[in-house]
A and B are shown apart, each in its own frame.
Chain A
Amino acid sequence: MSNENLELKKRQILSSQVDLSKFNSKNFEKATDEEKAQQEVMGESTTFFKDGMRRLKKNPLAMGSIVVLALIIAIIIIAPIFVPYSYSDMITVNGVRDKSASNLGMFEYSNAEMKYMESTGESLFPHIFGTDSLGRDYFIRVIYGTRVSLSVGIVAAIMVLIIGLIYGSVSGYFGGKVDMIMMRIVDIIYSLPDMLIIILLSVVLKEVLASKIKGTALAALGPNMISMFFVFGLLYWVTMARLIRGQILTIKNSEYVLAARCIGTKDGRILRRHILPNCLSVIIITTALQVPSAIFTESYLSFLGLGVSAPLTSLGSLANDARGAMQSYPSRLVIPAVIICLIVLALNLLGDGLRDAFDSKLN
């Protein structure tokens, strides 16, 4: 069949199928580029950060956790300004130690306080959570306990981050023999039973540090707390270091780093500008999840009586102190227990939310 015949046949078939009269020549004018572009509805282009934030905002659990954490932090910062009691000393009425103020229930006043209020007519700040067996306001103790627990968590996470980041990037970036030796060390630390070592070292360091820091500014923190930071920093960085090394090895072998190297970019700049930004999300998420795990460990130690030293307190040691009289005064046990759970829960949910929102490998 010749081409002309073919065309003819094609037209015949077409006209039998389509009613051409319903078209006019306008239909077949060429469409302009603008018109075509209008048809093309593209997905919005966003940056990595914006996209992640959008996903995070859509996650009600993560947003709720942020609110809860913000509230807790606001309370522990502001409350000591308003509450006129001290976490370490017995309640005083009119400058005199109030012996009757021990073991008060929530919002109760002691006899001495009642008398004082009657006589002067001024009202005293209520004991929101009551008082403990030594006559100390329990609310303010819980506030300070939360401060200690949270700062242990945050400081530990930051220490882990710093050590892990430096160790991991050096090992991953230089590779070869350096990497091998550094990773063997990590392997060995990793295989140590961490909880045993933590307990052991925190006991030992406490004893050793007690004499060393006497009279310095660090003494206010107490040897227990410093030894705890020390031990956390010493043991928990390995996971972070492994993670960062793994990330860096992957990124190091990517084409864009090769491209940067080809145009003569220096090592330091490659590390800062190309490698670190690309493992940032993993680092942030891991650090966020490190905080609750450190709080957990601290509360264990405090609960075993190995944590912060009196009169300083943490949520774990508050719970431990309350065990003796837990049948008579269950609220003293329940309050710190609930706050630990709340903080850890919120941090876990936030960490999970961050991971879901920012970890590109999961999306």
Chain B
Amino acid sequence: MSEESKYLLEVNDLNTSFFTDAGEVKAVNGISFKLEPGKTLGIVGESGSGKSVSAYSIMQILAETGRVTGGEVKFRGENILNYSEKQMQKFRGEKISIIFQDPMTSLNPVFTVGYQLEEAVLLHTNKTKEEAKKRAIEMLTLVGVNEPESRVKQYPHELSGGMRQRVMIAMALCCEPDVLIADEPTTALDVTIQAQILELMQDLQKKLGMAIIMVTHDLGVIASMCDEIMVMYGGRVCERGTADDIFYRPAHEYTKGLLRSIPRHDNMNEKLVPIGGTPINLLNMPEGCAFCPRCDAAMKICLTEKPDEIQIGDGHTAACWMNIKEAFEAQEV
């Protein structure tokens, strides 16, 4: 490999749009991040913030109307956006795998669990059908599905939601990918099952050593397991940093608002404050900061100019004019 870097995956200035009848919907507007092997990156944001679309852009599994319009996605130094469809087919599932939000609809209802697992194995290895079946059972055991020998003969609708998500994880990991993208893996599950699935993922990460990109709107999920967190709004990155940075030293008004709106053990006596307004319309993006119409602290400059990401600590960056204002005022004094 030409330029071996310490990063497994590098995303630079990624732009993705959907071309609909109503116009171009800019779902992702220039996001960048780097991922080291074995680490976990969390992407948080509300619906429509572009977090899932970013994940799909990396895998190139966007819906028909969607297209990556700019930027690069480097895997081990190679820009996979330049891959042919054939190369991409080889790449998906073998190097990067993804699990989806809704295990109810993500498995094909007319094929057995075993068939769908074996298919994934057969696609990327030279294993025989027999060996693939063994691998499928092995994977099911690994993700904690009981009686895996009989499960492989069952159809998805015969399993519970938690079981199906385990099957999805088994399917994603059966070729031991370097990166696992988890697109809201616990949103559709019961709270007790959520914890089990998260624990399973952390456990498997320890055993298999893959990196994880955890896409979620649930700050609680992120806090416990991510090395780095990226907060997205309106298809842009607002703030990134460690869990400590985000939770205890938020530097973007959106992150601050987000934290005020969820219950925490250290501010139990404070009132929860929701973020007012409605999520932005991606068809007509504001000229300035995307969050500005809903921001209580919005300033004149926020209306007209988009803030750049500014580093404000070790590995902690934020794209908010408030930080510049503070620096400006400090300089005046």
Instruction: Note whether A and B contact each other (Cβ less than 8 A).
Output: yes
Chain A positions within 8 Å of B, measured between CB atoms, are: 6, 9-11, 13-15, 17-18, 20, 23, 25-31, 35-43
- A13 and B301 form a contact (CB under 8 A): no
User: What 0/1 pattern do residues 238 to 257 of B give for CB contact below 8 A with A?
Assistant: 00000000000100000000
Residues of B within 8 A of A37 (CB): 293
> A-B pairs with the 5 shortest C-beta distances?
A41-B284, A40-B293, A39-B286, A27-B301, A14-B327
Asked if B330 is an interface residue, CB under 8 A from chain A, the answer is: yes
Tell me the complex Cα distance, A38–B249, Å: 31
Docked pose: A35 CA to B303 CA in angstroms: 8
A29 to B297, CA, bound (A): 10
Whether, in the assembled complex, B321 has its beta carbon less than 8 Å from a beta carbon of chain A, the answer is yes
Instruction: State in angstroms the CA–CA spacing of A111 and B297 once bound together.
Output: 94
| Cα A41 to Cα B279 with chains together (Å) | 11
- B331–A20 touching, CB < 8 Å: yes
Minimum distance in angstroms from B218 CB to a CB of chain A? 25
* CB-based contact B327/A20 at 8 Å: yes
Chain A CB within 10 A, most for which of B288, B294, B324? B324
- Nearest CB of chain A from residue B314's CB, rounded to whole Å: 9
Is B200 on the interface with A (CB-CB < 8 A)? no
Q: Is the CB of A31 within 8 A of B299?
A: yes
What chain A residues lie within 8 Å of B249 (beta carbons)? 6
> Is there an interface contact between A18 and B293, defined as CB atoms closer than 8 Å?
no
CB neighbours (8 Å) of A42 from chain B are: 278, 281
Size bin of chain B's contact surface: 35 or more
Quick one: which of A6, A28, A40, A43 contacts B325, CB cutoff 8 A?
Answer: A28
B-side contacts of A30, CB under 8 Å: 297-300
Task: List B288-333 residues whose CB lies under 8 Å from chain A.
Answer: 288, 292-295, 297-303, 310-313, 321, 323-332
List residues of chain B with CB within 8 A of the CB of A38: 303
Cβ-defined contact, B287 with A39, below 8 A: yes
The answer on a CB contact under 8 Å between A15 and B286 is no
22 inter-chain pairs at a CB distance below 8 angstroms, sorted by A residue, are A10-B312, A14-B310, A14-B311, A14-B323, A14-B327, A15-B331, A18-B327, A27-B299, A27-B325, A28-B321, A28-B328, A28-B329, A30-B297, A30-B300, A31-B298, A35-B303, A36-B292, A36-B293, A36-B298, A38-B303, A39-B293, A40-B277
B280 contacts chain A at the CB level, 8 A cutoff: yes
In-complex Cβ contact of A20 among B300, B321, B328 (8 A): B328
Contact B292 A31 (CB under 8 A): yes
**Contact (Cβ within 8 A) B327 A40:** no
Neighbouring B residues of A10 by C-beta, 8 Å: 312-313, 323
The verdict on A11 contacting B293 (CB below 8 Å), with A29-B299, A41-B281 known, is no
Q: Given the interface contacts A11-B327, A11-B330, A28-B321, does A39 sit within 8 Å of B292 by beta carbon?
A: yes
Cβ of B283 < 8 Å from any Cβ of A?
A: yes
Inter-chain contacts of B301 with A (CB < 8 A):
23, 27-28
Give the docked Cα–Cα distance between A35 and B286 (Å): 11
Q: How far is the CB of A228 from chain B (nearest CB, A)?
A: 43
Neighbouring B residues of A41 by C-beta, 8 Å:
281, 284, 286
